[in-house]
Structures are given as C-alpha cells and as structure tokens.
Structure 1
C-alpha cells in the first residue's frame, strides 16, 4: 500500500479471566502486555487465538 507503519493501526484480541479485550494500537508499536495487565487490575492475559462474538445478552 505504500503507507508507513506509523500511519497504520493494528488490532489485537487478548483473553483474560473477565473475557476478551480488543486493543487498537499504532502499526509500528507493540502492545505492552504488562501495562495492559496492570490496567485490567493485574489480570493474567494472553493473545486470543479464537474470538466468538456474543449477543448483548452474553449468549453466543
């Protein structure tokens, strides 16, 4: 596309004990999992390999 990575965005899904977190970050940066975990109250998290959408009621 000819667009520098610092002018793009990337999206990453993380899974943690409370559910799924959707992170959007500038294309040339990496998500700080330590900072994300801290923002979530110290929750353990990992990159989600599968995301299943849920309805607003929480049912799949």
Structure 2
C-alpha cells in the first residue's frame, strides 16, 4: 500500500504538470497533449507492473 500511495502521488504530480501548458499556443498545446497521453501510458504500465510485482 505504501508503494501504491507514492505512485498515486507521482501520477497526480505528472497530471498537474501536463495540464499546465494549456496557456500555450495550439500547436504547443497539442504537443503537451501527446506528452500527456505518453505519460498516461507509461504510468499505466508502471502501475500494472507494480501490481504484478506485488502479487
């Protein structure tokens, strides 16, 4: 549970970072959207592998 809590905190941090560039021009905003999707995929893989490791 300790590992899961720190991972959730890390994900919330990355979500906050990914949302910040909304003030940028549209093309840069699209870049940040791609980065956000990549972060989501990576964090999902990390969580999945962590659950597999715990079990």
- Bigger strand fraction: 1
- Bigger helix fraction: 2
